[in-house]
Amino acid sequence: MRRQTRWLMVAALLGETVYGLGASPARADATGDAQTLYCAKPENTRPLVDTAVALGMADSGTHDKPLKVNGRDFTVTDWRRTFPADFGRACAALVAVRKLPSTSSSWTGDLVKTVIGLIPVAVGALLALGSGLLTTRKASAEREAGELHAAATAYERACRDCLIAWRRGQGRSLEAAMDAPLSGLLAELQRCKSRHPRWRLERLITAIRGLDRDIREADWPTETEALRRLTQRLLDRLEARHADVMGVVSRLDRPWRRHGPVRVEQAGPAEHAETPPDAS
């Protein structure tokens, strides 16, 4: 009985050993099975054939049987069955190559990432530059408009004071007070003319010079009603010229708009010394 039991134990150990030897390769070859399934996919047939040919395992065959070994054409399936070792080697090589990092792809990807990353930076820089230019231009236009407005207001006030003095019978007592305001106004208009040649400000400058000359050289009548009429005509011209200059100030306040030549408005028959306004 003891001897029978001993033989049973030996048989069990042998069976376990034999089973283990048969089962271990199946478990250990899971990676190989995965590679086989991968290489058996239809989309991998051509790359696998190219790999086998490149490794010298076969030559190129026909379209239906793309592999040729010893003068015989094989399909990939027949070749795998006939030359399993070569198939396994070619398949492993194909899988390994596809796992290798691609230098060109990596370089291209890095470049694309870098460019994409720089786009917001470039857009931000352009927006900041554009905003800075607009701010600078607006500030310059506001300063120019303010200086012209101040000069025009000072000259208009000096001329009005002089004409009212004539109306009150005070004679030429305030004509000298027109000198400095006139010089300031003409200087501002000349600067504006050089910066905006399309506005053709020379006509407005000529009209202002004509008004100033007529005020200074007027043959003032002694009769009260005649004096009043002459003074009023000159005041009307003064208001017209002041309105023309304020139109230029308005243009300076809107530098983004496109402006044509400045119009010089007439103020009645007393404008005979000035150039008529542009019809355009």
pLDDT tens digits for range 73-115: 999 899 889 999 988 888 888 888 877 655 555 566 667 777 7
Does residue 81 contact residue 110 with C-beta atoms inside 8 Å? no
| Residue 205, H or E segment | helix 202-217
Give CB contacts under 8 A, 24+ apart, made by 42-46.
44/94, 45/76
| Residue 152, H or E segment | helix 103-167
Residue with tokens 């150039």: 275
More confident residue, 99 or 68: 68
Q: Across all residues in the chain, what is the average pLDDT?
A: 79
* Tens-digit pLDDT profile for residues 4-40: 445 445 444 444 444 444 444 444 567 778 888 888 8
More confident residue, 129 or 43: 43
* Tens-digit pLDDT profile for residues 164-216: 998 887 777 888 999 999 999 999 999 999 988 988 899 999 999 999 999 99
